[in-house]
Amino acid sequence: MAVDGTYNVEMTTPMGKRTSKLTLKAEGNALSGSMAAEQGTQSFTGGTVNGDAVAWAVEVSGPMGKMKLEYNGKVAGNEISGTVKLGNFGNAPFKGTRV
């Protein structure tokens, strides 16, 4: 299953819904890309692909300083979904659709 592409993603956090544009590029089992949201665009490398399972992390700056967001999800057709670890603030679901 090809995970490459751009997705409109929505994350449901304790602070409400957050939207972003996610771009994924797989090379073998390595995953890279970027996430564009209200805080700006964050590129990432070091992610992984295993079949339809994907994982990556980005660091964002917010009102309470920098926070690492760790995503784990699955791609099914044109849909992506999973969970994101919000630093020390627990987990939140995310879902998106390929553009």
Tokens 């209200």 belong to residue: 38
Note the pLDDT tens digit of each residue in 26-73: 999 999 999 998 878 999 999 999 999 999 999 887 777 888 999 999
Residues 42 and 59: their CA atoms lie apart, in Å, by 7
What DSSP character marks residue 28? Answer: T
Q: What are the structural domains, with CATH classification, of the chain?
A: 5-98 (2.40.128.120)
Which secondary-structure segment (H or E) carries 73?
strand 65-76
pLDDT band at 77 (very low <50, low <70, confident <90, very high): very high
